[in-house]
Structure 1
Amino acid sequence: MPPTPKTSTSRADLPWSAKIKEGQPKPGLRVLIAALLVAVWVAVAGIGGPYFGKISEVSTNSSTDFLPESSEATRVAQMQGDFYDSDAAPAILIFESESEISARDKDYLSSLADELKTEGIDFDQASPVIYSDDGRAAQLILPLANPETSSDDVETIRERLASAPSSLESYVTGPAGFASDLSAAFAGIDGILLLVALAVVFVILLVVYRSPLLPILVLISSVMALSASIFVIWHMADLGWVKINGQVQGILLILVVGAATDYALLYVARYREALIRHQSRFAATREAWRGSLEPIAASGGTVIAGLLCLLFSQLASNTALGPVAATGIVFSMLASLTFLPAVLALFGRVAFWPSRPKHDPAALETGAEYNSKLWTRIADFVAAKPRAIWITCSLLLAVFALVSLSFRAEGVRQSELVLGGSESATGQEVLAEHFPGGSGTPANIVVDASEQDDAVAALDSDSGVSSVSVVSSDSPSGTLPVGSSAENLPPVFASASPTEVNGQVLLQATLADPADSPTAEDTVERLRSAFESAAPSALVGGETASDLDTITSAQRDRAVIIPIVLAVITLILMLLLRSVVAPVLLLVITVISYLASLGVAALLFNHVFDFPGADPTVPLYGFVFLVALGIDYTIFLMTRVREESLGLGTREGMRKGLIVTGGVITSAGIVLAATFAALAVIPLIFLVQLAFIVAFGVLLDATLVRAFLVPALVEDLGKKVWWPSKLSR
């Protein structure tokens, strides 16, 4: 008889005694370990979940809070607290009549402040009612004393003004009014945004997996990561380590849900493949975990490194987004590598019902399992004419990249932040029609008392300044008109003198233009230049100066951070792919893809949506997310290509890598694009613009770039792409 041939026996087919000898735990112990991991995450979610509704307690939307300590606006904000309560936020009540305001209406207005006081509105000394020259408008300024309740106070005032005489149209505007409308716009960020994001992702996962259970398990994994992230970030903000605002909250939520789902897609694809190779679900879990660890850790680490580059920013909102978003990515990785493998190990093939993967190793050996008709056709198409394809794709991207030069990112007026308009924006327009545009929101100038007259003279000579006063505790109104504004002063001001603190006084200049307008910012720039010679000690602050300093800092951040991100990610890719050529090419492609996305956005924003412009941080955030997240798909693709190239060669490895990962990468791109698109439910121009740029850019990257451009370039270059590693030889 011929000798019996030796057969290979997998660990899954060994008897239990043999497995125990090899150090492999018993099935019961494996189930217990998996159940403990799931229980730990459930406990984490139980602790961190309630903090989701409390995150607004440790956030702020004040622009001054995010400026660098060295900026003039910040220094003035710190000094003006010595002259008066700098925390007070002015609410400007504007009233307009079709004809001259009647005596009866004037009686109503003169008693309004006292009535609001008795109704519990907490404000410092109110201004007298100021009537416009045409007699058709009036304004009343209420400095709301408590910043924590100012939004509620504004809403209460608006409800009270609903019963104003029918002959008067009333509005609440000013810093307090804008802050209240901004808070209302962010109101949906705690619930609506999450529900929309989860619902969209659930529908996409249903289509991808054709299973009712698996999408739920993937989304639970995302929620676990989000709960843990919120818990840690809440304490980071509470301890003062980071300053967060509504924008950072929204981006965190979307980023965690999108990233965790992307990592889950990668793991589930590996797990399904392993279930076909192994009968045992635990053996499949082990193989899937090993196969997913490097790409998930590498892609997550790359995103984290890119995000932490924001720590080089001057703006606290940017420096906060770095560690906050990085924390979210860390927990997304942990949930995808611990909770998801554990829960899928417990469910096994049942998780994929009704399309359960069958144990059929031969399907993997013959390639039958991978033979997606769509991706096989794409791979064959790319392999047939790689040079023509990558040149065509590159030229197409280059055209739109050139259009990105028309992207306008010089800042957006505060009155235009909320899409669809707001009461504060309408009130600001009415105010500007009847009063100097900067009424109620003056520029604050701290200057040495010895230079007061020179500073006042410089202010008087600027056409953008309507009137000037100096803070005076002796004055019944709290300020004393000076310079040309002091002509024909009423006797009540005769005994008043400027308040002097440490040899300095605080001047307040009412600007002729609305405080959030570009013309007002131009006035502040002129004043700063004039003070360099007229009053060298003068520092200019206030709302307009804060906006101007924010734009200046954001433009500086963009110029500094983008090169740092490029350098860091290039280094990581070199270490990961053990190559110099591939990382440089891939990063150049990613940057061109980003610029093309920005070009498409410029066309739509300027000519279709008619946006007034964009905040300077929009292209910076878009760059960080698109480059960092775009590299994710590069890593998913190229790590698999490198793995296949070791046995098949570069060109065939590229073909097989594209077939195997094409569906996963495209699905991941659609999921991430959909989650970022959900940001558009918050009616703020910043988030809507960022949502479009990232969503479109991710789709472009996951389809045209990863399906055609990168594979075609690698096919054309062949093994040279791996230089100087052994694969290149």
Structure 2
Amino acid sequence: MDAGTGTGTGGGTGAGTRTGAPPGAGGRRKGPRPWVWGVLTLWVVLAAALVPLAGKLADVQEDEVVSYLPASAQSTDVARVVADMPGGDTTDISVVYHRDGGLTADDQAAAGAQAREIAGRFETVGGLGTPAASADGQTLVFNFQIAESAGEPGDVVKDVREVTDRHAPGLDVLVGGPGGTDADMDEVFSSIDGTLMLATLLVVTILLIVTYRSPFLWLVPLVCVGVAEVATRAVVYLLVEVGDLTVTGQSGGIMTVLVFGAGTDYALLLIARYREELRRTERPFDAMAKSLRGCGPALLASAGTVVAGLLCLLAADMNNLRGLGPVGAVAVVCALAVMTTLLPALLVLLGRRVFWPLIPALGSTPRVKRSAYARIGAYVVRRPVGILALGTVLLGALAIGTVKLPGDLHMADSFTEKPDSVVAAQTLAQAFPERASQPIAVVARTERADEAQRVAEDTQGVADVARGRSADGWTEFAVFATDRPESSGEEATIKRLRGALGDVGGAQAAVGGSTAEGMDKHSATARDQKVVVPLVLAAVLLILVILLRGLVAPLMLVGAVALVWAASLGIGALVFEPVFGFEGADPGLPLLSFVFLVALGVDYGIFLLHRMREEALSGTPSDKTVVPALTATGGVIASAGFVLAATFSVLTVLPLVMLVELGFVVAVGVLLDTFVVRTFLVTAASSVLGRRVWWPGALAKADAGAKGPDGPDDPDHTAPGGREDPSPMMA
């Protein structure tokens, strides 16, 4: 069988096409079977119960700093200790006043009045404090630590900005600092769900209309995708409530893309097979049953590789990556469940007329033309070694581009358009090049706080140490470095602080803050790559070995998708900075893109190799299976790959650099896999290897002519070759 275009239940495309039993034979009913109504009723009941739960997912979504930090990092410990102190976690903001040419006396007076108003309106830690003025007299900054009791960070920053919006012409007043950045980030995440849903819905709708050329058919898979999205959101919400699952704006956005992308792919594959079966089977119910038997195992294996790959993220140390694993797995499982139950029921209920105006009539002969994939396949098998070598060199050359991948993405560079907090950080960096304007956060046990403070003050690179709150046995310090934030100098100071404070016995000191968080993310991501990547490879390889019953073919597919990942990341590295203007790459990009491209990309190889295996089992010599397999799977898989790439590319419209980068790399990788690797490289490698591609399985020992349910002695089996390319998009 193949993914939606296989032929395990009938064959041929000409006048001799099988049409099944005569109408009314055996007294069978012509209407939908009872299970159709049962499935529809079940989903109606489930939808009614799940819709209210799905609406609650946004309420449990977490986008706090801890949600994106490593579970075992010092910066995470600091964030948790500070959050548990009286007043909770603080909203640290910097209010920056700047005028080109120098601040006037009126500017300074207005800035002081606004600072006093802010300190009086909110509960602060350490009060107003002393403002810092730049040497050139153009910039003045007030730093505030506003207690959590004052409200959510986004609300606090909004209120502060209402105060600072009242200023004289020519005076720039900006609210930045970690709190300002977090508020801007929260605003972006709050808009992601709606923007992403609408954009994805529009893209999928257009592609389905173009694919099916029908005024009705596109609605059926689209409705099913919507049901799958509701089911996914409801199940994820329940997992959050009953378990320790972190759902962030990042994982929520990726969840939606997976539901739409994977769900639409499964629908394309099943509908293509169903339409084919309708030409030779009288009743839609029977045609659908044959379709599910034929392409069901391939769909299960496809979903299984994605789920297995995503669940490997549970071994990650990064909280957001570990939470993404189950969230993404639920999305794929729900998409598969809906597309193999609700979609078949709706199609059977609607009958052949749902395909109008291109209705597949019983016994009809579809258009027969020489497929582009038949020509490609014939060309590849004539020059397999040269094509394999050329393609491998090309992808290898693109992979070299990864050496130009920009450095880690700083918080200030995380937005595609610069909000006030980013402009404030840049203004401060120019005004105070000699010292940091954002503190390094340090916590230590209160009984050893004095010694910890002395050690911090004596550490090289520290300009000042301010003592903060003390509660629950902990004391908080604000440590200012002599180097600017997120610079190599400040990172060196943090390393020295951690080493020196670690020698203070009993202090249990930990060093955090925005720069330390970035350092910890980088270290944790490097660790996660070493752990998760082998797990993903092993899980996907195991599923392929079970499905293809060999070792060489699975190794070939895994090696191919790994090469695609490296090439896609290399392309991203070549365009991120010069074309998109991005100053860095998200530390989690290599790992996330690897998981998605290996788990998703291997699917199309599964469909091609599985079809080749079916050809071999039908008696076709091993050296003759490549062209018919590529011809049969080419069109529909090309459509599915294009849809999947398009849904991931929707992430590029969002205002967060990390999601834009992920969407770009995965979309490029899916297109490379669909149109280069599967079409040329895997085909060429299979042609070179011949029967050895199935080693050590039985097919590697001799050309099959196999018997039994998969072989030619099966009364319902017809040799798979000779089909037209079934994809409307590619016709």
Note closer, same or farther for the CA distance 1:352–1:441 as it changes in structure 2 (3 Å cut). farther
- What do residues 410-465 of structure 1 show as CA deviations (whole Å, max 9, x unaligned)? 421101001121110111122334457543543314256557346534534422x2
The answer for the alignment partner of 1:203 in structure 2 is 206
Give the residue type in structure 2 aligned to 1:678.
V
Q: Is 1:697 the equivalent of 2:669?
A: yes
For 1:82 and 1:241, the matched residues in 2 are separated by: 19
Deviation at 1:337, TM superposition (A): 0.3
- What do residues 91-150 of structure 1 show as CA deviations (whole Å, max 9, x unaligned)? 2221123455455444433443564578x7676664246141545433332515258632
The answer for the alignment partner of 1:651 in structure 2 is 623
For 1:665 and 1:414, the matched residues in 2 are separated by: 39
Are the aligned partners of 2:455 and 2:501 in contact in 1 as well (CA < 8 Å)?
A: no
- Structure 2 counterpart SS, 1:92: strand
Are the aligned partners of 1:174 and 1:441 in contact in 2 as well (CA < 8 Å)?
A: no
The answer for the alignment partner of 2:22 in structure 1 is 13
The answer for the alignment partner of 1:597 in structure 2 is 568
Note closer, same or farther for the CA distance 1:704–1:458 as it changes in structure 2 (3 Å cut). same
Higher helix share: 1
Give the residue type in structure 2 aligned to 1:380.
A
Q: Is 1:286 the equivalent of 2:286?
A: no
The answer for the alignment partner of 2:78 in structure 1 is 76
* Aligned partner (choices 412, 422, 425) of residue 422 of structure 2: 425
Q: How many residues align?
A: 681
- Structure 1 counterpart SS, 2:477: strand
The answer for the alignment partner of 2:632 in structure 1 is 660
- Structure 1 counterpart SS, 2:351: helix
* CA RMSD in angstroms, aligned pairs only: 2.7
* Aligned partner (choices 486, 494, 515) of residue 524 of structure 1: 494
Note closer, same or farther for the CA distance 1:58–1:400 as it changes in structure 2 (3 Å cut). same
For 1:724 and 1:710, the matched residues in 2 are separated by: 19
For 1:470 and 1:447, the matched residues in 2 are separated by: 13
- What do residues 497-520 of structure 1 show as CA deviations (whole Å, max 9, x unaligned)? xx5864x64332112344444443
For 1:98 and 1:13, the matched residues in 2 are separated by: 88
The answer for the alignment partner of 1:267 in structure 2 is 270
State how 1:432-511 maps to structure 2 within 5 Å.
432-435=429-432, 438-446=436-444, 449-450=447-448, 452-453=450-451, 456-463=454-461, 465-471=462-468, 499=470, 502=473, 505-511=475-481
The answer for the alignment partner of 1:640 in structure 2 is 611
For 1:519 and 1:416, the matched residues in 2 are separated by: 19
Range with bigger deviation, 44-53 or 388-397: 44-53
- What do residues 319-346 of structure 1 show as CA deviations (whole Å, max 9, x unaligned)? 1111100000000101110111111111
The answer for the alignment partner of 2:543 in structure 1 is 572
Are the aligned partners of 2:468 and 2:477 in contact in 1 as well (CA < 8 Å)?
A: yes
- Structure 1 counterpart SS, 2:479: strand
Note closer, same or farther for the CA distance 1:191–1:428 as it changes in structure 2 (3 Å cut). same
The answer for the alignment partner of 2:7 in structure 1 is none
The answer for the alignment partner of 2:697 in structure 1 is 725
* Aligned partner (choices 649, 654, 658) of residue 686 of structure 1: 658
Note closer, same or farther for the CA distance 1:147–1:221 as it changes in structure 2 (3 Å cut). farther
- What do residues 292-340 of structure 1 show as CA deviations (whole Å, max 9, x unaligned)? 2101111101110111010110111111111100000000101110111
Are the aligned partners of 1:419 and 1:685 in contact in 2 as well (CA < 8 Å)?
A: yes
The answer for the alignment partner of 2:590 in structure 1 is 619
For 1:451 and 1:171, the matched residues in 2 are separated by: 34
The answer for the alignment partner of 1:33 in structure 2 is 35
- Structure 1 counterpart SS, 2:480: strand
For 2:696 and 2:43, the matched residues in 1 are separated by: 43
Are the aligned partners of 1:44 and 1:227 in contact in 2 as well (CA < 8 Å)?
A: no
Structure 2: runs of 5 or more not aligned: 1-15, 703-731
For 1:604 and 1:82, the matched residues in 2 are separated by: 43
Give the residue type in structure 1 aligned to 2:696.
P
State how 1:186-201 maps to structure 2 within 5 Å.
186-201=189-204
Deviation at 1:530, TM superposition (A): 3.5
Range with bigger deviation, 449-458 or 692-701: 449-458
Q: Give TM-score, length-normalised by structure 1.
A: 0.87
- Structure 1 counterpart SS, 2:416: coil
For 1:542 and 1:591, the matched residues in 2 are separated by: 36
For 1:38 and 1:167, the matched residues in 2 are separated by: 64
Note closer, same or farther for the CA distance 1:122–1:151 as it changes in structure 2 (3 Å cut). farther
- What do residues 262-283 of structure 1 show as CA deviations (whole Å, max 9, x unaligned)? 1111101110110111121111
- Structure 2 counterpart SS, 1:279: coil
For 1:596 and 1:82, the matched residues in 2 are separated by: 45
Range with bigger deviation, 662-671 or 637-646: 637-646
The answer for the alignment partner of 2:300 in structure 1 is 297
* Aligned partner (choices 687, 710, 715) of residue 687 of structure 2: 715
Deviation at 1:224, TM superposition (A): 1.1
Deviation at 1:219, TM superposition (A): 1.5
The answer for the alignment partner of 1:127 in structure 2 is 128
For 1:254 and 1:79, the matched residues in 2 are separated by: 35
For 1:711 and 1:682, the matched residues in 2 are separated by: 37
For 1:57 and 1:505, the matched residues in 2 are separated by: 32
Give the residue type in structure 1 aligned to 2:209.
L
State how 1:525-544 maps to structure 2 within 5 Å.
525-533=495-503, 537=507, 538-544=509-515
Q: Give TM-score, length-normalised by structure 2.
A: 0.87
For 1:370 and 1:630, the matched residues in 2 are separated by: 30
The answer for the alignment partner of 2:241 in structure 1 is 238
State how 1:104-503 maps to structure 2 within 5 Å.
104-112=106-114, 115-116=117-118, 126-128=127-129, 130-132=131-133, 134=135, 135-140=137-142, 141-146=144-149, 149-166=152-169, 168-360=171-363, 363=365, 371-408=369-406, 410-435=407-432, 438-446=436-444, 449-450=447-448, 452-453=450-451, 456-463=454-461, 465-471=462-468, 499=470, 502=473
Deviation at 1:681, TM superposition (A): 1.2
Are the aligned partners of 1:94 and 1:171 in contact in 2 as well (CA < 8 Å)?
A: yes
For 1:146 and 1:639, the matched residues in 2 are separated by: 60
Note closer, same or farther for the CA distance 1:225–1:164 as it changes in structure 2 (3 Å cut). same
The answer for the alignment partner of 2:66 in structure 1 is 64
Are the aligned partners of 1:123 and 1:145 in contact in 2 as well (CA < 8 Å)?
A: no
Give the residue type in structure 2 aligned to 1:423.
D
Note closer, same or farther for the CA distance 1:53–1:470 as it changes in structure 2 (3 Å cut). same
For 1:296 and 1:47, the matched residues in 2 are separated by: 27
Residue identity (%): 35
Note closer, same or farther for the CA distance 1:387–1:148 as it changes in structure 2 (3 Å cut). farther
Structure 1: runs of 5 or more not aligned: 1-6, 20-25, 473-498
Range with bigger deviation, 675-684 or 47-56: 47-56
For 1:396 and 1:606, the matched residues in 2 are separated by: 22
Give the residue type in structure 2 aligned to 1:426.
V
For 1:108 and 1:387, the matched residues in 2 are separated by: 75
For 2:108 and 2:571, the matched residues in 1 are separated by: 53
Larger RCO (alpha carbons 8 Å, 6+ apart): 2
Are the aligned partners of 1:94 and 1:137 in contact in 2 as well (CA < 8 Å)?
A: yes
Deviation at 1:726, TM superposition (A): 1.8
